Structure 1
Amino acid sequence: MAALSAYIVSRFAPAASGSGIPEVKTILNGFVLPDVATFRTLFIKVPGLILAVASGLSLGHEGPMVHLTVCWAELLSRRFPQFRNEGKRRQLYSAAVAAGVSSAFGSPIGGVLFSLEEVSSYFPSRTLLMSFVASVVATLALSISNLTGTGRLTLFTVSYTAKLHPSDYVMFALLGVAGGLVGALFNALNIRWNAFRMKPSFKKRVGPVQEVVLLALFTLISSWPLPMTRQMSAHTIHALFDPCSSDPGDTVRSRRQEEFGLCDWQGNSTVWGNGLITSLGASAALRFCQTTFTIGTACPAGLFVPSLFIGACLGRCLALALKGLHSGHILFPHTIDPGVYSMVGAAAVLGGVSRMTISLVVIMLELTGGLDYVVPFMLSVLIAKAVGDSLNEGIYDLQIVLKGYPFLHEELDVTFTERCCDIMETGLTKIDMNVCPRLQDLRVMLLAFTFRGFPIVAGDSFVGYIRRSALELCLRNLEVAKVESEVVSLEELKPFIDSMVMRMAPETPLSHVHQVFKQLGCQHIFVVGSDGTGSGQDVLRGILTKKSFIKFLQDGQVGHMLDRAGTPTRQLSERFSVLDAAANAAGDSRPDDLVGHTASEDDAASRSTGQRRGSGVV
């Protein structure tokens, strides 16, 4: 099954591999990645995901579910004219992300927060409403279908009555530290391995299907000796989360916990007698290794469930050790419940890997029903993120950079000394209405240039911007009433011109440009102002696209990264050292040019044929 999954994905839809969240995050940041949200990708990823999960590989289905819902959103946007606008389409994508998380976890509120916090870079109030509606509908469909077979939305619903002691919060903080360290280590090792996987020499020796076959054999052989890795992760996670039950009538819970030796026949947590701590530690370490090699293969794969499993094992290990060493001690006078520690540990490791905060806490609350433990969840996740961020970036941001996708990372602490005029593209190909262009001239222009659109000027004054598709439609309408030699007037073009484009003065600081690109969802900025010849204040001086801006940032030609002491430096922060190491391990196999293009290039981007003020070229 694993081999078949890898084959159909690598052969028919390579974009269907992985979780798809880095790609979706890049798209919602304003860029277009070909083949990511197409019918072919959807058609291949569904059976590929089913086969991959059923094969027993160390992966989850939650991340790919987000990708699948975005593919559905793309198909729906083609059926409804109101979503053909790029901005409206991205709002629909954000709602689809919320629906995907809701259907994967049974977490409607967590789905909305995940879309807001982790994926979307532009989230207006209308998008919030759309995401909430989509999340509710997805959760309602999940509830009606009763996929868990229990009548509940989630697989991990638990019930606890134990009260926490102040000493528990110290241990929860320790779990947060451990989760951050484990998450940072996983991110570093996984990125290094994926970089090595990208080397041409590796690809020649081991194909994607062969790699998955070898990985499946390794997973099968290594998982069999340990009961907790032998079973499906979701089943084991539920057993780790559950409290020990002494109720003779609770046969399902008792059978599940006795299967792994978590509780004795009296409903007490097993401590030392059967080597449970060793088994838990070995299971966590083994799943860590398996997941490190699995994430990044040709199969559709998510990392939520493996991360939860690793954290649950570590949390229960700590609880059992404390129970065996200090039960009844003055610092731990109460009864320690290992299930609570398992839930907190699971949240900590997932937070250390993904660096989610609010959305993760809400997802864990809805996933487990443990509303009484909101503070432990918050404490462990917050500390895990802080520890992880001090070492490297979250897994999705690292994957985005490793794959060469263009992305504006909000977390980077950047100071700018440059202005728009220092990096703007000049020498633009534009349509000047004062020269009285003929119908034939515009047709020749479309044939000569492949740009997605053109700036419109009237002499020195900037009028607006016309998309290539809009210009073609305008010319088709005019050819009925005009001959090729007739002049096309500005009044005839006005219905097709976008005059509400983003404009900035040449002296605008690049810090403002960064905010516009990141927060307003803007894809390109026209630099308009005086050229010093007395021509007026609306002269088109140049254009600045998000893609070129990111390229300048990555090349270190603009902006200064602040180091930990607050001193400006041209080098990337230490948190990105794992990327440098990954690039070295891969022989710098990342593409020189950014993959994908901005939505503005779809809508219309102009090309620079002149020189820029400042160093470097994009």
Structure 2
Amino acid sequence: MEEDHSRREGNGFEIEDDDKEHSVSMLREPFLVRNIKNNTSQIAIVGANTCPIESLDYEIADNELFKQDWRSRKKVEIYQYVVLKWTLALLIGLGTGLVGFFNNLAVENIAGFKLLLTNNLMLENKYYQAFATYAGCNVVLAIAAAALCAYVAPAAAGSGIPEVKAYLNGVDAPSILAPATLFVKIFGSIFGVAAGFVVGKEGPMVHTGACIASLLGQGGSRKYHLTWKWLRYFKNDRDRRDLVTCGSAAGVAAAFRAPVGGVLFALEEAASWWRSALLWRTFFTTAVVAVVLRGLIDFCRSGKCGLFGQGGLIMFDVNSRKAFYSTPDLLAVVFLGVIGGVFGSLYNYCVVKVLRTYSLINERGPSFKILLVIVISLLTSCCSYGLPWLSKCIPCPPHLAEKCPTEGRSGNFKNFQCPPNHYNDLASLVFNTNDDAIRNLFTSGSEKEFHLSTLMVFFFAIYCLGIVTYGIAVPSGLFIPVILAGASYGRLTGTMLGPLSNLDAGPCALLGAASFLGGTMRMTVSLCVILLELTNDLLMLPLMMLVLLISKTVADCFNKGIYDQMVRMKGFPYMEAHAEPYMRHLVASDVVSGPLVSFSGIEKVGNLMHALKVTGHNGFPVIGEPPCSDAPELCGLVLRSHLLVLLRGKKFTKQRVKTGSGIMKSFKAHDFAKAGSGKGVKLEDLEITEEEMEMYVDLHPITNTSPYTVVETMSLAKAAVLFRELGLRHLCVVPKTPGVRLSRCYTCV
């Protein structure tokens, strides 16, 4: 069995599809069931707009060229490489921090202007004009976001976290980290959030940070003559993976102003492989983000940033109160955890169903994507503007006469259509930005500001709108909708308990948000730290840990986390950390298929060209045969990309002799490095004459002489875990019995 387009099974093994009948017969095995093509669109489900997916090469090819390059490196070059790692981490932090600030600055000003314009019309009793203005602004912003995603970069739609998670697992899906995707992710997220959708900018910020890291780690561009010698060391997937990990952590730090939470998010959810050296660089990157954001926020406090102020970045400081709780209060916390787990798993189930429905619409073309966005935008506008009319006007509390009703676009006491000295509590939640709504729900010492009916209506509205909004063609995150829904039922529970509990409604809202996050995303440590950094409330740590553990445990009884389900639905060949139970009953030889395509150490050019044309394999075993060796033996593994570069160089001979020294002088290790844009040498680029087809080329200098191998009798479960833990793209299965024909038993997966 040979690796084919590196389409790995969910447990790490690939299927040879040259023989279709053989592949069909093998589909009876559960771990071999796979779609041949996959979709990389954020809004698509398997089966729509399919495209092939490659794997990443995290293993460094241990060939003669690499060894020569390593031996020739001077100490100063090694120091340059180390310094460059930290320099790129610094640039990732700076870039992500600036983008995060610009994102918040733009959203706060656009959304604030829209709300102020609508409020001014309502003060003049022009309610119909106010609604037309409000809905019109939302539709225009929504169309702008949808058009960017539909026509410029479809991969920018949605959260982006499943794509980043898949990339860090070794999935090289096209366009997910492209410059166009970064551009659309930034501006599409601004337009989408400002349009009033029940979405967040946290998931898109993770994707944005990953895109920035990927671009910085490209190692220059040969197309635009931007190649530097000291950047060539980053032309490999391993270093780019580390940079993307730093970028994903920086995205969380920029979105939540939570540097430690960003590191833990990358460790717990995003990265598949981790090591201590990466921990240092990731922490350094998030620290840079925090410093950049803090400096820019201080600059904006003087009113130089329009409507953007301290509240623009999601930071809900609720540490002014004291948290007192007794043993009976733990029952309420347990209840919140159970409810959060149930509602979270139900939320995931509904999102999956809605996405499958939307895929039927989105696959019809860009115009249908935009039309769906317009429909959801109008629905959201009707709910935001219409629901407050169902709520009664409440007299302002006497002790809050100076703050009630709220002046401006935000606050707990929105006047809406109410008479003087009255406020509309539901308008304070739905007719507001998502960040301000969360801030209102987390407010302490204000149990009577929101009626029970208001909290119930808001919960069901946000719950349903969050479900139907996720999946449309706009960059959208899940954190904010989930926090809103969780905070609303948490505050509802705290208000109902009233004098029976020492917990305030504000802390209950925070615990409710934590429980819902745990029920949907199934993260514990990172979510706990992110929420603590968000609220600056360390006193709630024990209760938050308890509610997260309970909600995750309950939700795991029903389905998987939302990001795991998204990865599966998109058809990414994600490799799980653990082998399936049935693999313990199989050995490695049970999943191999043939015939094997292999090369000799000195191979005819025509044979190489034929194999590259008729197969899509990305790795070929090199078998030494007489006269190059006394007996057939495995020399190593050669990559398809390296073969293409070697053939383009045309270092051929008419006789079958070793020419390794000549090749070593003609090529450098960086000639075989992966192209930054992913567009390396293609088979169509080669111009080989008929005479050259009969010539020979020495493969020894580019052959990885130390490939990972397992014997054919190894347990499939062990082989799968080995494949996953080492981050391999190819694994050779060798015969246990000496004398068996090698060309039939060597296998690459």
Q: What is the TM-score when the length of structure 1 is the normalising length?
A: 0.77
1:311-460 correspondence runs (5 A): 311-323=486-498, 327=499, 332=501, 335-410=502-577, 414-416=581-583, 417-433=585-601, 436-438=602-604, 442=608, 446=612, 451-459=617-625, 460=632
Cα deviation, residue 410, structure 1: 3.7
> Unpaired segments of 5 or more residues in structure 2?
1-140, 220-230, 301-307, 389-425, 626-631, 662-697
Q: Is the 8 A contact 2:587 2:713 kept in 1?
A: yes
Q: Which residue does the alignment assign to 1:107?
A: 258
Q: Does 1:541 align with 2:541?
A: no
Alpha-carbon separation, structure 2, partners of 1:495 and 1:441 = 18
Given residue 270 of structure 1, which amino acid in structure 2 is its aligned partner?
A: K
Measured at CA, do residues 125 and 424 of structure 1 come closer, stay the same or move farther in structure 2, by a change above 3 Å?
farther
Asked if 1:158 corresponds to 2:318, the answer is: yes
CA shift digits 1:178-209 (9 cap, x unpaired): 11111111111110111122236984898111
Q: Report the Cα distance in structure 1 between the residues aligned to 2:461 and 2:440, rounded to whole angstroms.
A: 18
Aligned residue identity for 1:238: R
Residue pair 1:423, 1:544 contacting (<8 A) in 2 also = no
Cα pair 1:424 1:543 within 8 Å, conserved? yes
What's 1:82 paired with? 233
- Correspondence for 2:291: 140
Task: Determine the C-alpha separation between the residues in 2 that align with 1:154 and 1:198.
Answer: 32
Distance 1:471 1:534, change over 3 A: closer
Q: Structure 2: which amino acid aligns with 1:209? A: I
Question: Conserved in 2, the CA contact under 8 Å of 1:531 and 1:539?
Answer: no
| Residues 561-590 of structure 1, C-alpha deviations (whole Å, 9 max, x = no match) | xxxxxxxxxxxxxxxxxxxxxxxxxxxxxx
1:506 matched residue in structure 2 = 712
What amino acid maps onto 2:208 in structure 1? Answer: L
Alignment of 1:105-254 (within 5 A): 105-146=256-297, 149-150=309-310, 154-159=314-319, 160-199=321-360, 203=364, 207-224=368-385, 225=388, 226-227=426-427, 228-244=429-445
1:23 is aligned to 163
Contact 1:280–1:314 (CA under 8 A) maintained in structure 2 = yes
Q: Check conservation: 1:528, 1:539, Cα contact below 8 A.
A: no
* 3-state SS of 1:456 partner: strand
Cα deviation for residue 165 of structure 1 reads 1.5
* d(CA) in 2 for partners of 1:541, 1:414: 26
Distance of aligned partners of 1:446 and 1:403 in 2 relative to their CA distance in 1, 3 Å threshold: closer
Q: Assess if the C-alpha contact under 8 Å between 1:426 and 1:542 holds in 2.
A: no
Contact kept, 8 Å, 1:99 with 1:135, in 2: the verdict is: yes
Q: Is there any run of 5+ residues in structure 1 with no aligned partner, and where? A: 245-262, 264-268, 546-618
Does the aligned pair in 1 maintain the 2:145–2:189 contact within 8 Å? yes
Match for 1:452: what amino acid?
N
The letter of the residue matching 1:210 is: L
Q: State the secondary structure of the residue aligned to 1:347.
A: helix
- Give yes or no for contact 2:162–2:563 (8 Å, CA) kept in 1: yes
| Rg larger for | 2
Change (3 A) 1:412 1:217: farther
Aligned partners of 2:596 and 2:743 also within 8 Å: no
- TM-score if structure 2 supplies the norm length? 0.64
Tell me, what secondary structure is at the counterpart of 1:2? helix
Question: SS state of the match for residue 398, structure 1?
Answer: helix
Is the Cα–Cα contact under 8 Å of residues 157 and 367 in structure 1 kept in the other structure?
yes
37, 55, 67: which is aligned to 2:195? Answer: 55
The answer to whether the 8 Å contact 2:577/2:725 transfers is no
d(CA) in 2 for partners of 1:402 and 1:478?
44
The Cα of 1:468 is off from its aligned counterpart by 2.7
Measure how far apart 1:512 and its partner are: 0.8
Matched, 1:10 2:150: yes
Question: Structure 2 counterpart of 1:497, which letter?
Answer: T
Q: Does 1:525 align with 2:731?
A: yes
Q: 1:94 and 1:201, CA in 2 relative to 1: closer, same or farther beyond 3 A? A: closer
Q: 1:39 to 1:475 in 2, by over 3 A?
A: same
**Alpha-carbon shift at residue 440 of structure 1 (Å):** 6.1
Q: What's 1:73 paired with?
A: 213
| 1:233–1:530 Cα change, 3 Å | same
Residues 351, 406 of structure 1: alpha-carbon distance in 2 compared, 3 angstrom cutoff? same
Contact 1:83-1:89 within 8 A present in 2 as well: yes
| C-alpha contact (below 8 Å) 2:149/2:157 kept by paired residues | yes
Deviation at 1:167, TM superposition (A): 1.6
CA distance in 2, matches of 1:525, 1:444: 23
Residue in structure 1 matching 2:635, options 463, 466, 478: 463
Whether the aligned pair in 2 keeps the contact of 1:143 and 1:153 (CA below 8 Å) is: no
CA distance in 1, matches of 2:656, 2:600: 16
Partners of 1:4 and 1:55 lie apart in 2 by 10
For the aligned residue pairs, the C-alpha RMSD in angstroms reads 2.5
Using the alignment, how far apart are the partners of 1:106 and 1:485 within structure 2? 65
Identity of aligned residues (%): 32
Question: Residue 95 of structure 1: CA displacement?
Answer: 1.4
Distance 1:373 1:26, change over 3 A: same
Deviation of the 1:531 alpha carbon = 4.7
Code of the residue aligned with 1:541 in structure 2: it is: C
Distance 1:308 1:107 in 2: 16
Kindly tell me the number of residue pairs found equivalent between the two proteins.
Answer: 505
Relative distance call for 1:385 and 1:411 in structure 2 (3 A) is farther
Shift of 1:356: 0.7
Q: Is the 1:19–1:301 Cα contact (8 Å) retained in structure 2?
A: yes
